[in-house]
Structure 1
Amino acid sequence: MGLGGALRPRRVIGNVAVTAVRAGVCVAVPLVVLVGIDRVDLAPYAALGCFTALYARDDTYARRRRVLALVGATLTVSVLVGALTRALVGGAWVSVLVVAVVAAAVKFVSDAWDFGPPGGLMFVFAAGVSSYTPQSLGAIPVQVAVTAAAAALCWVVASVGVLVHPSAPERLVVARALVAVAHQLRDPCLGRRRAAEAAVCRAWGVVVAAPRWRVAVPELEVLTARADAALAGSGDRVVDARTAAEFTELARRCRRARVPEVLAGEEEWAVLAAQAERVRGARLGALGWGGRLGRAWRWPSAAPVSAARVMVAALAAGALAPVLGVEHWYWAVVSAASVLQATNVSSTWHRTVQRATGTVAGIVVAAAVFAVDHTVWSTVVLIVACQIGAELVVMTNYAYAIVLVTPLTLALSSLTQPGATTDGMVLERLWATVLGAVVGAVVCVVVLNRRGPARVEAALAVCERACARVEAGGGVVARYRLAGALVDVWRVQEEAEGEVWSRGGEAGRVWGVESRARALVDRERVVVAVAVG
């Protein structure tokens, strides 16, 4: 897809404003404290710890606590590694090598443990900043402590919502499933059907993992069962349009009400609740952190290739930056790592266009913002405002967020380096970002990922085995697992087709397995739909 596709906005349902305000609070509190005690020199380290708030935005509270604890600890370790490298060695080339190794490691771990956006990027930023900034061994403990304290604050702020809205993440994922099914019913097509299947599978996985005694969980189970049963459609466009309108309204109420309305009679509730009970019994045991690392390493996982791409790109960008006159070499490294958080060549191209375009626009904004002098307090306000604004739009399009991230980064630099936001610094930021993005895109093409066909074949084999179990009378448990296997097939096929050397070679086989699986999945949906009536 070309430039227009890369910059096209994406619709986001729910949890935008809350996440943005949460990130703003997490940045504001440590910055205000540091300015108040006259330790503005520690502001960058507080900001690095505050990157914790950018993760697990839509996860359940239980998973959010685990992921954010890991993210906060990894950010702190990244700062420690970078600072020690600068203090003990001091050479830029060694720092580039260390940051490249960190970039590869965190890319692999973030993929294996499914940290979600922004992936391994923030850890590269943390290692890059701390390895670039002049260090003394005596200052490192304080810097690391500030990073850890900021990360802990983010963990607390992200977790306290459970006291007020304990089922908010579950309500959000069910609302998104209802909206996805509504879109499919209103205007059926293959893309919307696949999106609806994935959203319903995601909703089932989240809802059945929640304790049934928790507030709103029984209602959410029934709503998910309704969405699941209606996904195949009735064959009557008028009936489907009415169902789509009802689901859209149910999704709105689900997001806003502490206990969502189901709008189902007693008999319908009983049928759907029984279906949910059977799906709950189909839960698979989740892999532990070690098991996920092992699976990510084994063939034909793409995680090792993705990590290798990031390391090569980070080394190349970090080596080229000083040669081309870019003093802040870590900006180029971060830019290269940023575009390679994507899953394949096509999505990396999108990220490259988004990063470069957003930076150009951000430079214009930064030039206007820094055309006037700022006090320390006005700079803090600017940083918080940019952080909130970036979080408001980042899920809509990455490029929109970069427009605000650019002045945010320069404002942070100005706190510790007065006068850093000169025209020369602004232009350096532009060239470093474009350099890193281009290097990342080139490396993604040069370092080939040949594992796509094998991954598709493995996913198809799992799906075919699931089909056989359903055909043998496996019931709801087998059907639920088949739906999940089908979603995995689409995911790995899309990733494989995004590589330059693979353009749909498995499409025919995927379509055949998909048709067989969908017929089996829809067969039981029709039975449930008829039962509820």
Structure 2
Amino acid sequence: MVRARPLPVRSAVRLRRPVDIWHKPALSAVVALAIPDLTLWALGRLDLVLYTSAGAMCALYAHGLPYAARVRTLAWVVLGMVASLGVALTAASLITSTALLVVCASLVAAVHKVVCEATRIGPPGNIILTFIAASAFFVPQHPGQVPLHMALALGAGVLAWLVCMAPALIRPQGPERIVVARALEAAAGLLRTEAGTGGGQPAGVPHARHATAAAVNAAWNTLFLVPVRTPARAAARAGLERLLVRAESALGDTGHAIEASAGAEAEPRNTRIAEAGAEADRLGGWACELRSGRQLPEVALSAAQAEELAGVAAEEPGPRRPAPGHPRGVRAVLARLAPGSPLLPIGARVAAGCVLAGWASMAVGVGHPYWAVVTAASIYQANTTLSWQRALQRTLGNLLGLLLYSALLPLMHLGPLAMIALALACQLGTEAGITRNYWLGSVCVTPMALLLTEFGSPVPATTLIADRWIDTVVGVAVGLACCVLVTNRRAADRIEVALERVAAAEAVAFGLLVTGPATRADDARDIGWARDRLAGCLVELREAVEVAAGEWWQRALPEERIAHAEQRGHRALAGLVRRLSAPALAA
């Protein structure tokens, strides 16, 4: 049985709250772009801006990672960008057929999409890599020029790496403090939601519990990336772990205590609700202290929690470790790319959609077919609904962006310095707006992309505006058509796999819950690992459901099984958390 799902409109253009760290990639990119741009201006070689921009735009990545992990991740991003640029420039120097260049650019775009999804690199994902590489495929090039242009990109990439690592000198624990603060804020929100219901279960409570479990799970995965090579670093990480354990305790302390008092007298029930509210205020206050950079507060934990964090159960005492049996690093990436992966249909969508969009752009006589390729690549998301929303957002944003570009034309005529200043301002505006909604960021992306074209080879403004608009319409139309035709039937299969993993994790959890309280360090370790596995499985199940639910033509989802699995899973998770939290936490 299959069913078609409606495609939303209003939610696609609704503005959200900006991401808390939007200014970090924004300022990093502005600095990384400004230095090479001004250097090229001083040398009179602004025609090389595309190549330095390739490396400088790497400064947008990895701002959510601890600095120890950011070192490696950014290096891979820079190498990936330079390699993609090298492939594009080599093809541009050897291939004369525009149609064949469109095919090459589309295949590279598909590789970018699949690899970025498999590595979970995070925003801005594949779009920056594809934008630069697709543009380079259509830049006139001689084979002898390729090494110099790649060297410029590599040099700018090294600069971007330095810019992104520079904050470590001031706030070396900044990224992990922020992610723990998010977990504390999510836990505080859960406490307030459940306290406000007086023990009931309205629609908002399951969502709040899932948001808290996801935030805590993300925070642990971040802390696992923080090395503890020195006593000072070990102490700093231990302090964050204690705060995160306290946030995690909200998954066990809330609901259970309030529900237990739901049938009691009003005064005890009101007391429990007041205690939950006080704990929420305490967690929120700690989150503010983390964000402000102040000294970590002292946090009281139960004996089992303290033993688990101290590593007493392990042969080598140390920080909390991830649960065994879960692939990490390169093995995890390869597992996500294995045959049968739901990412493969997405890659097929990108390749087919980009090829057809580029060829359609050529057919209507547009001089920049790579814009259609980039447009098609940018709209492909995890499912049809999200792709539709992205297509609508990009169309609206590009239209408004072309109006903004027209308004800025008089300023561009002031000279190269004015153009550089406008490009940097557009980059800042892009990062400020794109976390609120993609269309708002696209308003600034469009004039910035046209400015990069102006640096290389000036084109009449009317021609640029017309080509950009036609390519946007063509790319969106063809891209959506391919998205509808190439359905991701594996999305529902992913739910079945996720349900099996949740069931296995639940069985282990309930087995530990019937054995009694954690009296030894080994018990605390086993319960902690079971809690981590179950929380991760629940997060993966919810992600799989949301992806599959967004496919417009998909067989009916096992909604009852999903709801039952999530209810049992969160009940078991709460039990494990309570087992480690007993006796009740002190303030």
Please state which band the TM-score falls in when normalised by the shorter chain.
over 0.9
- 2:287 matched residue in structure 1: 251
Find 1:112's aligned residue among 118, 139, 146.
118
Distance change (3 Å), C-alpha of 1:11 and 1:184:
farther
Amino acid corresponding to residue 236 of structure 2 in structure 1: A
- 1:218 matched residue in structure 2: 238
1:529: Cα distance to partner?
6.1
Task: Give yes or no for contact 2:109–2:377 (8 Å, CA) kept in 1.
Answer: yes
Write the distance in 1 (CA, Å) between the matches of 2:450 and 2:221.
Answer: 41
Distance change (3 Å), C-alpha of 1:282 and 1:54:
closer
- 2:263 matched residue in structure 1: none
Write the distance in 2 (CA, Å) between the matches of 1:195 and 1:503.
Answer: 27
Write the distance in 2 (CA, Å) between the matches of 1:330 and 1:158.
Answer: 29
Distance change (3 Å), C-alpha of 1:187 and 1:195:
same
Amino acid corresponding to residue 531 of structure 1 in structure 2: A
Write the distance in 2 (CA, Å) between the matches of 1:108 and 1:297.
Answer: 8
Higher relative contact order (CA 8 A, sep 6+): 2
Write the distance in 2 (CA, Å) between the matches of 1:184 and 1:458.
Answer: 28
Is the aligned partner of 1:469 residue 2:508? yes
1:503: Cα distance to partner?
6.7
1:275: Cα distance to partner?
4.6
Find 2:307's aligned residue among 274, 281, 289.
274
- 2:548 matched residue in structure 1: 496
Task: Give yes or no for contact 1:99–1:127 (8 Å, CA) kept in 2.
Answer: yes
Deviates more, 1:194-203 or 1:125-134: 125-134
Q: Deviations over 1:174-215 (max 9, x none)?
A: 011111122222225222221111001111222244234416
Q: How do residues 49-198 of structure 1 correspond to structure 2 at under 5 angstroms?
A: 49-188=55-194, 189=204, 190-198=206-214
Task: Give yes or no for contact 2:188–2:283 (8 Å, CA) kept in 1.
Answer: yes
Write the distance in 2 (CA, Å) between the matches of 1:22 and 1:356.
Answer: 28
- 1:427 matched residue in structure 2: 466
1:286: Cα distance to partner?
6.7
1:358: Cα distance to partner?
0.8
1:246: Cα distance to partner?
2.4
Find 2:571's aligned residue among 504, 508, 519.
519
Instruction: Please state whether the residue corresponding to 2:553 is helix, strand or coil.
Output: coil
Instruction: Please state whether the residue corresponding to 1:472 is helix, strand or coil.
Output: helix
Task: Give yes or no for contact 1:168–1:258 (8 Å, CA) kept in 2.
Answer: no
- 2:518 matched residue in structure 1: none
Task: Give yes or no for contact 1:315–1:333 (8 Å, CA) kept in 2.
Answer: yes
Is the aligned partner of 1:320 residue 2:360? yes
Larger radius of gyration: 2
Amino acid corresponding to residue 386 of structure 2 in structure 1: S
- 2:394 matched residue in structure 1: 355
Find 2:217's aligned residue among 190, 201, 204.
201
Amino acid corresponding to residue 144 of structure 2 in structure 1: G
Distance change (3 Å), C-alpha of 1:469 and 1:36:
same
Is the aligned partner of 1:292 residue 2:344? no
Distance change (3 Å), C-alpha of 1:239 and 1:99:
same
Distance change (3 Å), C-alpha of 1:226 and 1:275:
farther
Task: Give yes or no for contact 2:491–2:548 (8 Å, CA) kept in 1.
Answer: yes
Find 2:275's aligned residue among 233, 239, 260.
239
1:38: Cα distance to partner?
1.2
Task: Give yes or no for contact 1:300–1:455 (8 Å, CA) kept in 2.
Answer: no
Instruction: Please state whether the residue corresponding to 1:216 is helix, strand or coil.
Output: helix
Is the aligned partner of 1:343 residue 2:373? no
Task: Give yes or no for contact 1:331–1:432 (8 Å, CA) kept in 2.
Answer: yes
Amino acid corresponding to residue 90 of structure 2 in structure 1: L
Deviates more, 1:271-280 or 1:459-468: 271-280
Task: Give yes or no for contact 1:216–1:259 (8 Å, CA) kept in 2.
Answer: no
Stretches of structure 2 lacking an aligned partner (at least 5 in a row)? 1-6, 195-203, 259-271, 312-318, 513-525
Write the distance in 1 (CA, Å) between the matches of 2:83 and 2:559.
Answer: 43
- 1:304 matched residue in structure 2: 344
Amino acid corresponding to residue 288 of structure 2 in structure 1: R
Find 1:401's aligned residue among 424, 433, 441.
441
Task: Give yes or no for contact 2:226–2:237 (8 Å, CA) kept in 1.
Answer: yes
1:429: Cα distance to partner?
1.0
Query: RMSD of aligned C-alpha atoms?
Result: 2.1
Instruction: Please state whether the residue corresponding to 1:413 is helix, strand or coil.
Output: helix
Deviates more, 1:62-71 or 1:91-100: 62-71
Write the distance in 1 (CA, Å) between the matches of 2:585 and 2:304.
Answer: 6
Task: Give yes or no for contact 1:354–1:398 (8 Å, CA) kept in 2.
Answer: yes
Q: Deviations over 1:119-165 (max 9, x none)?
A: 22222222211111111222222111111111111111112222221
Q: Deviations over 1:193-239 (max 9, x none)?
A: 21111001111222244234416312211110111001341424333
Amino acid corresponding to residue 60 of structure 1 in structure 2: P
Task: Give yes or no for contact 2:68–2:225 (8 Å, CA) kept in 1.
Answer: no
Deviates more, 1:206-215 or 1:470-479: 206-215
Deviates more, 1:237-246 or 1:95-104: 237-246
How many matched pairs? Answer: 528
Tell me the TM-score normalized by structure 2: 0.86
Write the distance in 1 (CA, Å) between the matches of 2:158 and 2:220.
Answer: 31
Write the distance in 2 (CA, Å) between the matches of 1:260 and 1:19.
Answer: 26
Write the distance in 1 (CA, Å) between the matches of 2:399 and 2:166.
Answer: 38
Q: Deviations over 1:271-290 (max 9, x none)?
A: 65435446924434774654
- 2:249 matched residue in structure 1: 229
1:346: Cα distance to partner?
1.0
Deviates more, 1:248-257 or 1:315-324: 248-257
Amino acid corresponding to residue 444 of structure 2 in structure 1: L
- 2:262 matched residue in structure 1: none
